[in-house]
Structure 1
């Protein structure tokens, strides 16, 4: 993997593929750059793709004093490697991070967001003290319990869904990345769509949702697109919180190369 040093000295690892207009891929919770392995083949013939490990994940470094601002600096460091300006695609909490980066003035040409998990009125929110409880579980080394707690209380999975996750091949990697869940929690902030701040963002933004996602994620996608002056929403074939790569890829290529 390639490496770049972020502003605070943290090393950020990324993969680069293809040739054409640059696009940076930004993953969400429990994910490193390998989450895009099935998507990149659809992008690389048309774009120069940069898929990186967010800090604390994969081959990237970390720092003891996490802030969302440092993650924004990480993204800008990768954008600088891409020539100083690039389109950005973010999924889940990565979508919120990408949007926060754009609001902070990161040099993003176009923004594509897959189901930013905001909390809109009428849908459940994490309980009071969620972040503190999550930190306590991790401090005690109870990584599996921390993952279960995040999935149940933040994502809203019922017990039977959590059991399916625990029985899947992905569970060990979920536990291995449990220490980054507070990072995603910080990125998502109070969970509300930042309507007032987004009103001044003139960047062309595509908000994507799956046609088989959850009701609250659909509502969040609708609210996000509605709050962006140059935002539009597109529903694509997929499953819960994920769009099929063979469908998503051509859509992103058309958006990035337009």
Structure 2
């Protein structure tokens, strides 16, 4: 992978493919750039597609202390590498980070979001002490339990689904990246849609959600789209917290090309 140096000196690893206007793909909790392995071939014929490992994951570096501002600077460094401005697509907690970056003035020309993580419409928020619990589990070296806690208490997976996740091929990555769950939880803040701040964001924004996703994820996507002056929501075929890749690729390519 290639490397770009962020403002604080942290190296951020990335790959690019294709030709055309640049689009940067940003992952959510647990994952690294490989989560987009099936989406890149859909976009590369139309766009120069960038994927990267967010700090603390994969081949990217990290810093002793975490701050959302550092991740915003990571994205800004990659956009500079891509030519100075870019379309950004981000999912889940990565969508929250992309919104923060756009509101901070990072040169994002268009913003596409998949089911940003907010709790709205009466859906219950995670436990008030969730950050302390996460840090305590990590300090004790209980990375698997950290991942389980986040998935159950913040994402809402049932015990039965958690058993399936533990048996799945990605569980080792979940444990490896468990320390970054504190990062993503920091990004989420109070879990509310920041309607007043989003009202000042003029970037064209598309917020997509799966037609078969969870109620709170769909409601969060719709609330985000409503809060953005130049935003609109779109339901697409898919399953829980996942949109069908070929459909998503076509929609993103059309959105990026404007």
TM range (shorter): over 0.9
Hey, what's the Cα distance between the residues in 2 that align with 1:144 and 1:179? 10
> What does residue 66 of structure 1 align with?
66
Aligned equivalents of 1:90 and 1:130: distance in 2?
24
Aligned: 1:179 with 2:179 = yes
Query: What is residue 218 of structure 2 aligned with on the other side?
Result: 218
Q: What is residue 21 of structure 1 aligned with on the other side?
A: 21
Superimposed CA distance per residue, residues 38-85 of structure 1 (whole angstroms, 9 cap, x where no aligned partner): 000010011001100000000000001100000000000000000010
Residue number in structure 1 paired with 2:118: 118
In structure 2, what is the equivalent of residue 245 of structure 1? 245
CA RMSD, Structure 1 to Structure 2 (Å): 0.6
For residues 81-118 of structure 1, what are the alpha-carbon distances to aligned partners after superposition, in whole Å with 9 as ceiling and x for unaligned? 00010000000000010011000000000000000010
Structure 1 residues 6-51: Cα deviation after superposition (integer angstroms, max 9, x where no partner): 0000000001100000000000001100000000001001100110
1:236 aligns with 2:231: no
Per-residue deviation, residues 189-244 of structure 1 (Å, max 9, x unmatched):
11000000000111100000001100000000110000000000011001111111
User: What are the residue-to-residue correspondences of 1:45-194 with 2, within 5 Å?
Assistant: 45-194=45-194
SS in 2 for 1:15: strand
1:158, CA displacement in angstroms? 1.1
In structure 2, what is the equivalent of residue 42 of structure 1? Answer: 42
Q: What residue number does 1:8 align with?
A: 8
The SS at the match of 2:23 is: strand
* Secondary structure of the corresponding residue to residue 88 of structure 1: strand
Residues 173-199 of structure 1, C-alpha deviations (whole Å, 9 max, x = no match):
111110100011011111000000000
Structure 2: runs of 5+ lacking an equivalent: none
Runs of 4 or more off by more than 6 Å in structure 1?
none
Q: Taking structure 1 as the reference length, what is the TM-score of the superposition?
A: 0.99
CA-CA distance at 1:167 after TM superposition: 1.2
C-alpha displacement of 1:121: 3.3
- Please give the secondary structure, in 1, of the residue aligned with 2:229: coil
Residue 169 of structure 1: CA displacement? 1.2
In structure 1, the gaps of 5 or more residues are: none
Structure 1 window deviating more from structure 2 (118-127 vs 48-57): it is: 118-127
Hey, what's the Cα distance between the residues in 1 that align with 2:133 and 2:121?
Answer: 24
After TM superposition, the structure 1 stretch with the greater mean CA deviation from structure 2, 167-176 or 78-87, is 167-176
